[in-house]
């Protein structure tokens, strides 16, 4: 599981680094910053989410949900999926996050498609690893039960 999270962080860092290489908006005005892309904004948003307290996260979850209900834009979809994908949050729902991202991933011309595809693939991998962990836990539990029965028979 740790390797999957490390891969997610590494991929996000690579994506963020790629976004940082854009040229300034106006070469003649060095004091003017380049416009921030939606990808840059969402990456910063995700970083901020990780530092929020549980009550603040719950409020942000509701805010993102309402924004998506009002306007089903790619930006709002990715934003809401990021909130839903937060590990160990009370509202974490990887399946809903994947469903929310699906139209953005399919929109190959969209500016947020690469970020949505990355997030989607990470969520799919996390689900696969969780399923494997559950299967292994069931096997371990079955072995423990078998061991207990064998010990009881010997007595």
Looking at residue 36, what is its pLDDT? 84
- The three-point CA angle 78-83-87 to 5° equals 125
Q: Name which residue leads in pLDDT, 12 or 124.
A: 124
**How many other C-beta atoms are found inside a 10 Å radius of the C-beta of residue 74?**
19
For the whole model, what pTM was predicted? 0.70
Rounded Cα distance between 111 and 7, Å, is: 23
- Tell me: the pLDDT tens digits for 83-138? 999 988 889 999 999 999 999 999 989 999 999 999 999 999 999 999 999 999 99
Mean pLDDT of 31-48: 85
**% of the chain exceeding 90 in pLDDT:** 68
Contact 78, 115 (CB under 8 A): yes
Rounded Cα distance between 101 and 119, Å, is: 8
Rounded Cα distance between 113 and 120, Å, is: 10
Rounded Cα distance between 47 and 37, Å, is: 16
């Amino acid at each position: 599981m740790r390797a999957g999270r490390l891969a997610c962080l590494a991929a996000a860092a690579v994506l963020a680094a790629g976004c940082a290489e854009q040229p300034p908006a106006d070469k003649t005005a060095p004091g003017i910053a380049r416009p921030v892309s939606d990808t840059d904004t969402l990456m910063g948003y995700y970083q901020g989410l990780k530092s929020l307290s549980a009550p603040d996260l719950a409020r942000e979850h509701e805010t993102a949900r309402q924004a998506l209900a009002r306007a089903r834009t790619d930006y709002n979809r990715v934003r809401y999926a990021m909130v839903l994908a937060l590990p160990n949050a009370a509202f974490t729902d990887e399946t809903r996050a994947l469903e929310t991202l699906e139209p953005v991933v399919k929109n190959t011309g969209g500016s947020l498609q690469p970020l949505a595809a990355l997030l989607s693939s990470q969520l799919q991998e996390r689900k696969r690893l969780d399923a494997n962990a559950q299967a292994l836990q069931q096997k371990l539990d079955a072995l423990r039960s078998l061991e207990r029965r064998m010990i009881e028979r010997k007595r």
